[in-house]
Each structure stands twice: as C-alpha cells, then as structure tokens.
C-alpha cells in the first residue's frame, strides 16, 4: 500500500470514503471504502446510501466517459479488483452485491475487423438485490432482473430474468435453485457450505474460522456470504459478516435471521 493509501486508511473507511469518492457527483450517507480506488469521471457518477466499496488488495476502477453515467442505488457493495466503465449508462439497483474481479462495460471499445469504426454503446441495467459472484463479466446490453443470482466466473450477455440463477459462458439458467432442507441442522448446513466454498476435503469444525481456514480471506468471506445466501434462500446483511469469526458464529447469525 502507498503512503497515501496508508494515511487514508488510518482515517477509517467512512472518512476516507468522503475523500476517495469526491470525484463522484453524488455519494449518499454511510459510504465506506477500503483501499484506494481509481475514479475517472468525465460524465456523471451517482452513488446511493450505505455504499461499500473494496479496492484492496487489488484496485477497483470506475470510469464514466464524457456523456456516460454510472448510477448505483442504496445498500450496494462492490468487491475489489472490479472495473465498471460507461460510455452510455450502467445502473446497479439497491441491495445488490457485486463480487471481486467483476468487469462491466457498456461498449466493446472496438469493432472487429475495422480499427477506425466506433463501437456501439448499449446500456447495462442490473436490478435490485442481485447477487453477482466473483470474476463475472457483464457485457454491453445486458439486463439482469431483480433478485437474480450470477455464479462465479460467468459471462452475462443479454437479458437475465428476475429471480433466475445463472452460470456459465455465456450465463444460462441453471436448475435446482436453492438447496432443499434435507433434515440437517443449521450448523451442519453451514459446515457443508464452508466445505464446498473453501474446497476442503472434509467438513470443518464449527470452531474453525479465518485463522484455521486459509481460503477464508476477504475474497473468500464474500464467496462464503453468497454461498450461504444461496443455501438458505434469503439475503444477509453484510455488516454482521464482519463480526463472524467462526462457523459457529455464522450458524448463530443464520438461526437469528431464520427466527425473524
């Protein structure tokens, strides 16, 4: 991390956000930024309330070219290494979570076979409460409906229906949906999700946490959150995950959410 980055981070994520996002046209209250993103605003960038933006350990980028608009709703989180570039318009609905290393561009920036031609611009619309996994590419003209889930490593090209669960290259609807409860306890289901998410050979102990599970880093925590949401079929607030230090803590969080 640079000396500037270290100084900004010492101010805390909320105070540093006011400095790091000052190039945006509007930023709602409660924004938090971790790391130092690159913001290039030649058009317009509007961000809603309680925005969570990670740019560490890998820098994230926002680019709004002249006439371009990036519009982000309330309660949106975006993982590190993500790039969003708009010549026309890219919108992200409220409550949406975007994983790490996601790329969204509303133009291809070139025309195959013609170096002098101007590439077409086709807006991207991402709905509310969408879950986009890690290393997803969202191509120009894509429309992702509310409550859709896009699995890790997918390439989105075209419309995704509301509530759909998609994956692959190109992304397509997958069968199965949320896994049915097979009679396992919440603790057992959390252990199983952790085993699959962190690619473990066997079920981890309930007391296991980031110290015991090497893959449970900042990127792994986001993947774990998305996997838990898929397993239990509802959205979890991001803030409680920051206080989860073991699988037992995660089980308690899930049980509390189910009891509401």
Domain membership flag for residue 123: yes
Last residue of a domain, one of 173, 196, 226: 173
User: What SS3 class is residue 34?
Assistant: strand
Last residue of a domain, one of 173, 199, 220: 173
Which residue, 117, 129, 38, 50, is CA-closest to 84?
A: 38
Point out which residues pair with 61 in neighbouring strands: 38, 83
Last residue of a domain, one of 173, 199, 225: 173
Domain membership flag for residue 181: no
Which residue, 104, 89, 110, 93, is CA-closest to 138?
A: 104
Same domain, 11 and 38: yes
pLDDT of residue 132: 94
Same domain, 89 and 132: yes
Same domain, 217 and 114: no
**What's the token pair of residue 40?**
């290039």
- The domain of 236 spans 186-259
Same domain, 66 and 107: yes
Same domain, 154 and 205: no
| CATH number of 247's domain | 1.10.1200.10
Domain membership flag for residue 160: yes
Tell me which residue has tokens 């509401």: 260
Return per-residue pLDDT of the chain as tens, 260 residues: 454 455 455 555 566 777 889 889 999 999 989 888 999 999 999 999 999 999 988 999 999 999 999 999 999 999 999 999 999 999 999 999 999 999 999 987 654 554 555 667 899 999 999 999 999 999 999 999 999 999 888 899 889 999 888 888 888 877 544 444 557 899 999 999 899 888 888 999 999 999 899 888 776 777 788 778 777 776 665 555 667 889 999 999 888 877 76
H-helix or E-strand spanning residue 7: helix 3-10
Same domain, 115 and 223: no
Same domain, 24 and 67: yes
pLDDT of residue 254: 87
Instruction: Tally the domains of the chain.
Output: 2
| CATH number of 106's domain | 2.160.10.10
**What's the token pair of residue 81?**
């290494």
Same domain, 8 and 130: yes
pLDDT of residue 177: 43
pLDDT of residue 3: 47
Same domain, 118 and 246: no
> Phi and psi (nearest 5°) for 41?
-120, 95
């Amino acid at each position: 991390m640079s000396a500037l980055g270290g100084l900004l981070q010492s101010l805390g994520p909320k105070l540093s956000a006011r400095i790091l996002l000052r190039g945006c046209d509007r930023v709602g209250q409660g924004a938090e930024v971790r790391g130092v993103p690159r913001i290039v605003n030649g058009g317009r960038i509007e961000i809603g309330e309680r925005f969570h933006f990670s740019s560490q350990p890998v820098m994230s980028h926002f680019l709004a070219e002249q006439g371009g608009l990036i519009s982000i709703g309330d309660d949106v989180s975006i993982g590190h290494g993500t790039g969003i570039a708009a010549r026309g318009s890219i919108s992200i609905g409220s409550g949406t979570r975007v994983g790490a290393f996601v790329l969204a561009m509303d133009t291809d920036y070139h025309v195959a076979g013609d170096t002098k031609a101007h590439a077409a611009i086709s807006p991207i619309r991402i709905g509310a409460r969408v879950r986009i996994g890690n290393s997803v590419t969202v191509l120009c003209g894509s429309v992702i409906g509310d409550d859709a889930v896009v699995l890790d490593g997918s390439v989105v090209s075209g419309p995704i229906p509301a509530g759909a669960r998609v994956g692959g290259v190109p992304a397509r609807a997958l069968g199965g949906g949320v896994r049915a409860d097979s009679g396992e306890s919440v603790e057992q289901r959390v252990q199983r999700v952790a085993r699959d998410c962190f690619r473990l050979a066997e079920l981890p102990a309930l007391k296991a946490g980031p110290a015991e599970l090497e893959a449970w880093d900042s990127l792994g925590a986001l993947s774990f959150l998305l996997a838990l949401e898929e397993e239990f079929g509802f959205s979890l607030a991001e803030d409680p995950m920051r206080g989860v230090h073991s699988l037992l803590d995660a089980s308690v969080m899930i049980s509390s959410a189910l009891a509401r």
